[in-house]
Structure formats: structure tokens, C-alpha cells
Chains A and B, each alone.
Chain A
Amino acid sequence: MTAETEQVIKPQVARRDITVPSIDTEDFEVGVFGGLMSVEDFGVNPVFGVRAAYHISEGFFVEAAAGQTETGKTSYERLSGAAELLTTGERTLSYYNLSLGYNLLPGEAFLSAKHTFNSALYIIAGAGSTRFAGDDRFTVNLGAGYRFLATDWLALHGDVRDHIFDVDLFGAKQKTHNIELSLGATVFF
């Protein structure tokens, strides 16, 4: 038995030790954005923020974002002259949210005959909290955005987002829709 199983030719293979270089993955995206945010009754004001995203698949991504804006005076405050509804600190609106996005329309932007850039139109929705007028308010956000890939790792964004939260400043609780328009830049790593 041993004679049968014994190999006649013993291969002498010099195995090379290969260190396989790991492949650089670029599934994370971080960046900043700025734009205008309309806060119901409190005017349209500049907004700035940061965002980070993780791309789960070619379609889906999760995003965490935070932003801040200084709101203005209500028309009532301006007309009455003296009565201030909020203190300066309470006028600052800051929010954070966690959202799920989907790249609905991946495509290409043809800027000239020689320059083609990848892009994607995405829809996004999520939940978070908004601190405004001294209170934290549960906030639902939904919107759409355009991601323009200047290079593989640098993206430019244009976003429209509706932040929906309840305000009870004027006695009764009312639902407010607060639209934010922003432009931003992110890097993939």
C-alpha cells in the first residue's frame, strides 16, 4: 500500500511568498455644504453643515449630516417693533439627521466632447433632531440631490431637502416645512 501511494515524482516547486497588496476601497464620503435654509416664519438664511456617508452598494448609501443657521425675525416681530419672541441663542437653528439614500439615476455629464463626468441623481430620506427656540424637535427630512464626480474621489453636490418638524411657539402645535438648498463638496476614501 505504501509503495502504491508513494509519489514517483516529487515535485520541487519553489513557492514564492507573495504579499497580496490590499485593494483601496472608497466607500466612505465626507464633506461640507453651504446654502440657504428657509425656516417657516423666520425667513431665509445662510446654512452651513457637514456630512458623512457610507455607500452600502451601488444603489444605497447611509448619510449622517449636521447643519446650522441663524434665523431672522418673524413678520410679527418686525411690524410690532419691540416684542422679541426669541433670544439670540434661541434663534440659532441646528440640526442633525441620519438618512438612507438611493442613487436613482446614475449617469454621465458631457461637459465637452472630451470631458465626461459621472454623476448620479439620488433621493434621500431620514430622521433626526432640530434644536430651535430652546427645544429639541423630532425632524423628518426628505429630498433629492445631484452628485457630480469631478474625479473618482471628489464629488460636488447640489441638494434640496425638506426638514419637517413641529413648532409650538405660537400657542398651538403646527407642522412646519423648512426647505434647504445647498451646494457641497465631498471626498471619497
Chain B
Amino acid sequence: MARHAPALPRPHPSLISNDMRITLLILISQCWLSGLAYGAEQYRVVQIADPYIELHTGAGSGYPVFLVVERGATITLLKRKTDWFKVRTSKEQEGWVNLRQLELTLTPSGEKTHIEAIAIADYRRHRWEMGVSGGDYSGARAISLFGGYRFAEHLSGELTLTQALGDYSSSVSVKAALLAHPFPAWRIAPFFALGTGVARTQPRATLVQSADRTDQFANVGIGAQAYLSRRFVLRVEYNDYLVFSASNDHDANEEIHEWKAGFAIFF
């Protein structure tokens, strides 16, 4: 391929001095920084189709309305914070408008603009999920961070990091699990989980006891997820762990029951 491609014209090395390069670098980094601050330079321009819109001084209904713009006027959408849009009017006034007042806005060519309101439809299509949960891990308090990816409608994979803090010991565990979602369309959808991982247990420093332990475990779980609103999903789960802790000085495997409740954000 490369052999047949015509040689691309290149700037002559001497045309750009080192000083210029540094200036360019500074300029680029400044552009990047201002890009961070003001977002993309190309903004969406829309025409108001709702009877009127109210411009607030801040992104929240508690901030006062300082300007009302009528139907037909053209506004520029600058940025979004939760359900609030920062807009610029044709007279260069800037303020924040709620999503509800922009539902009917049109593009300059007269087509309806689609402004993304996150809804249950997005939840049914989502792939990535991240969340936190807390609960009881066999008498200890458990805090978990989990991330999941939905491969298919009925199947997802999940990684969970859990810290359990008890009176006599604390532990950190990493778990990989497969989750089956038999009824993903239900508002409260049940799921079944099958997982495995490792747990590192550390006895309390004030107790005279054996050293830290690292054990593998297998787990089965059952739970339910409920779509709450926007990007939020509520979740309750029960897990049964079989910790392979049997060794020369410990004669039986341990069984641990865990109850957790939490929420997740989906993308």
C-alpha cells in the first residue's frame, strides 16, 4: 500500500524554528485548556418552538429568572449541567434554561431537535454500569464498588471490589461474576449471579491472632434491579459465598451470607 501512495508534501524543517515550535505548543495547550473550559467551538443553534423560555442566572430552579425569550427567537446551546442548558441569545445574553422548556425547539431548518432526556428506553439499551452498595457481610459492614458490562440482553459480566469491616477482622475481596437477567424489560428485574474471586482477610491489630489470609471463594447470588430515574438504577442482592479456607490448621470451608443494597449509574 505504502509503496503506491504518493509522497505527501512535508513542511520544510527549517520553516518552523524551535522557538516557533514552543509557541505553537503553548498555543495548542492553551486551545486545549480553553477547550476544556468552553467545550467544542461548534455549538448547536436552535429556534424556540415553545411559547417562551425562561433564562435563570444559574443551573437550578432556585436561581432567579432574569430574561424571557419568546417563540421564534434563535438561541445557541452552549453547555449542559444535569437538566439545565446554558444558552446564548442573539443579543449575547447568557443564561440557564430547563430541559422542559426546550422540548419543542427546532433546528434552523425547521426540523425538531432531539435533546436527550435520559429515560427508561436508554436504560434498556445501556451497556456499561457502575455503582456502589453497602450492607451486611456475615456480621461485618460491607462496602462495594462494582462495574458491569452487558454483553447481551440477558447476560452481563461484573467486577466487584468489596471491603468488609468487622469487629474482629477486615477483608478486601475482588470478585468476577456472570449475571443472568431473565426478564430485562421488567421495571423491577431479577438477576442471578455466579462468581468467583479472592479475599484477603486481616485480623484486628488489637487481637493476638494468626497472620493475614488470602482465600479463594465461589459465590451464587440473587438480586433485583429497578430503574429509578435518569441514569439511576436501584439494586438489592443476596450472595452466598463458599470460602475455600480449609487448610492444615483450619479444618472446614467457611460459608458467608451477604446482603447488600445500592445504586448504579448506567452509560
Contact = CB atoms under 8 A, between A and B. Distances in A.
B266 to A, nearest CB: 12
Contact of A138 (B107, B165, B232): B165
Contacts of B232: 56
Interface string A30-73: 00000000000000000000000011111100100000000000
Contact of B206 (A128, A135, A189): A135
A55 B81 contact: yes
B205 to A, nearest CB: 3
A77 interface: no
Interface residues of B, number: 47
Contact of A58 (B36, B37, B84): B84
Contacts of B114: 20
B43 A21 contact: yes
B143 A58 contact: no
B119 to A, nearest CB: 14
Interface string B18-46: 00000000000000000011111011100
A21 B60 CA distance: 24
Contacts of A149: 58
A155 to B, nearest CB: 11
A24 B80 contact: yes
Contacts of A57: 82-83, 230
Interface stretch (A4-12, A103-111, A156-164, A176-184): A103-111
A118 B63 contact: yes
Contact of A21 (B40, B58, B145, B265): B40
B62 interface: yes
Contact of A116 (B57, B80, B134): B57
B59 interface: yes
A127 B79 contact: no
5 contacts: A16-B109, A23-B79, A136-B170, A138-B165, A149-B58
Interface of B: 36-40, 42-44, 57-63, 77-86, 107, 109, 113-115, 132, 134, 141, 143, 145, 163, 165, 167, 170, 202, 204-206, 230-232, 265
